[in-house]
A and B are shown apart, each in its own frame.
Chain A
């Protein structure tokens, strides 16, 4: 049964299996295990970024295509929901329609970019995605009448998904359950389904051909596979999943702005997480995202504690000062790339 859900692609390592189970358990019961707004925000961000990073891994790790427009597709999904709910009013229908519109536009844009650039060489695709992503980011900032410009847009979501909604009078397992928790489980289950769907795709005959193309496109052509068709399809699938993740993110945040969805920093984060987690593994997205988002959110706090603990020593408190958290994050990445060249998952699976 578990193998069926995982499309026959198990963790292949006990330690990795245990880590994945721990992450799944923590995310599934986050509202009860880690009560508090900040921890719920972190858990939701982990869920959404797992899907976003996994959809990028589908492109980079499985198809060998480098794209810099992944956040653009993520943003299209988020803005799709924001604009639709603003125009059509707050309802589940407008959320669904906005999600579908964002995914649809992402698919069309991915098709156009892929057909124009992938036919020639993969490097042109990377360059074109960079140009298109920059153009879209500028457009979003400029077209403030539609997108809210640099200020972004607030999103009104159905009341059942907001903190004001209380489905139960009594606390559930010690937690006063609200619409915010329902919203979290909407995020969690949507992300779980999308992740398992992608796992299915990469383990299907289609995914196998993608891997063959990544390794040697000419060889795959000589066997009888239309490389361009597979690359275009992978690009569209990846864009659609990124857009869906963007829609979920928008519903969760109830806000969308250029910095939260279209920023270059997010693209760099995605790249880093894929590399740290392990390219072409899918599970790398899970482990990498969990570590990265936790470090991003809590490293400052942990360092504050460490700095206080070694306050009596010379130099160390300064080095561990919370202000230097970005430096330590950088060191962490350099070390992980150095010691885990195939990513954490690659290393745990015994691939050197």
Chain B
């Protein structure tokens, strides 16, 4: 088995005086989608933000591609090849769709094949190419946020609750795009509360509770065991 792309060992993170992560151990294998699941307040978003360097880990180690990154600044981490899609549709509202995507391509001009892929996955972005991103709908903003992260090929994509507050039709479009990205060989670590989406996309799963990883395994195992889901996340999911 190849070396994992991301490995967190004993990561502790504080936000002001509050300790949020109490020793997170997480391994993200290369290729495929790892879902980070758990109840609200379990520490999922903090984990992603700690990986990105937006919250500094107080203790522990974050290895990306074998190198420790926990002491690096966010721009350095991003330029090492980690794309981040925050949960609040983190687009730049005053800039146009085009400018948002240009900003996403940090290492140079946008590659045409990448742009074609983005337009194919999210046709709305081509339609509103010159429009200020602030004028887009919620779903389009989320598409733009994802597109901005994937406009350049990166080793790992961190995606925080992409389906939050979106209509089912938009979620389906987004799920298809993420599936295509996965098929193309990308590695994604994704936080998701929508279990149906998590089940549809995830290959691996890690469940968090009270700032720790309490379960890891194949997504299929978690999806097929409703008792486990209920004990880990308090979920009662109808099997489709």
B residues less than 8 Å from A205 (CB atoms): 102
Distance A159 CA – B138 CA, assembled complex (angstroms): 65
Interface string of A205-236 (1 = CB under 8 A from B): 10011011011101111111111000000000
Report how many residues on chain A are interfacial, defined by Cβ distance under 8 Å: 19
Contact partner of B95 (CB less than 8 A), chosen from A211, A221, A224, is: A211
CB distance from B119 to the nearest CB of A (A): 20
Assess the B92–A222 pair: CB atoms within 8 A. no
Contact partner of B104 (CB less than 8 A), chosen from A214, A221, A223, A227, is: A223
Distance A220 CA – B84 CA, assembled complex (angstroms): 11
Distance A223 CA – B106 CA, assembled complex (angstroms): 8
Contact A222 B103, CB 8 Å, known A211-B95, A215-B94: no
Q: Does B148 contact A (CB under 8 A)?
A: yes
* Majority-rule SS of A interface residues: helix
Find residues 12-39 in chain A having any chain B CB closer than 8 Å to their own CB. Answer: none
B residues less than 8 Å from A223 (CB atoms): 75, 78, 84, 103-104, 106, 148
Q: Does B222 contact A (CB under 8 A)?
A: no
Find residues 49-90 in chain B having any chain A CB closer than 8 Å to their own CB. Answer: 52, 54, 73-75, 78-79, 84, 86, 90
Contact partner of B75 (CB less than 8 A), chosen from A212, A214, A221, A280, is: A221
A residues less than 8 Å from B79 (CB atoms): 224
Assess the A226–B94 pair: CB atoms within 8 A. no
Distance A223 CA – B149 CA, assembled complex (angstroms): 8
Assess the A211–B86 pair: CB atoms within 8 A. no
Q: Does B99 contact A (CB under 8 A)?
A: yes
CB distance from A119 to the nearest CB of B (A): 12
A residues less than 8 Å from B104 (CB atoms): 223
Distance A226 CA – B77 CA, assembled complex (angstroms): 11
Contact partner of A219 (CB less than 8 A), chosen from B92, B94, B99, B102, is: B92
Assess the A221–B92 pair: CB atoms within 8 A. no
B residues less than 8 Å from A227 (CB atoms): 75
Distance A209 CA – B92 CA, assembled complex (angstroms): 10
Assess the A219–B93 pair: CB atoms within 8 A. no
Assess the A216–B73 pair: CB atoms within 8 A. no
Assess the A218–B106 pair: CB atoms within 8 A. no
Distance A2 CA – B74 CA, assembled complex (angstroms): 40
- Give the nearest-CB partner of B91 in chain A: A219
Distance A118 CA – B104 CA, assembled complex (angstroms): 24
**Interchain residue pairs A-B with the least CB separation, the first 4:** A224-B78, A224-B106, A221-B74, A224-B79
Q: A219-B90, A225-B75 are in contact. List 18 more A-B contacts (CB 8 A).
A: A205-B102, A208-B103, A211-B92, A212-B95, A215-B95, A218-B74, A219-B86, A221-B75, A221-B78, A222-B86, A223-B75, A223-B84, A223-B104, A223-B148, A224-B79, A224-B106, A225-B106, A280-B94
What are 28 inter-chain pairs, A to B, with CB distance below 8 A?
A: A205-B102, A208-B102, A208-B103, A211-B94, A211-B95, A215-B92, A218-B54, A218-B74, A219-B86, A219-B90, A221-B54, A221-B73, A221-B75, A221-B78, A222-B52, A222-B86, A223-B78, A223-B84, A223-B104, A223-B106, A223-B148, A224-B74, A224-B75, A224-B79, A224-B106, A226-B73, A227-B75, A280-B94
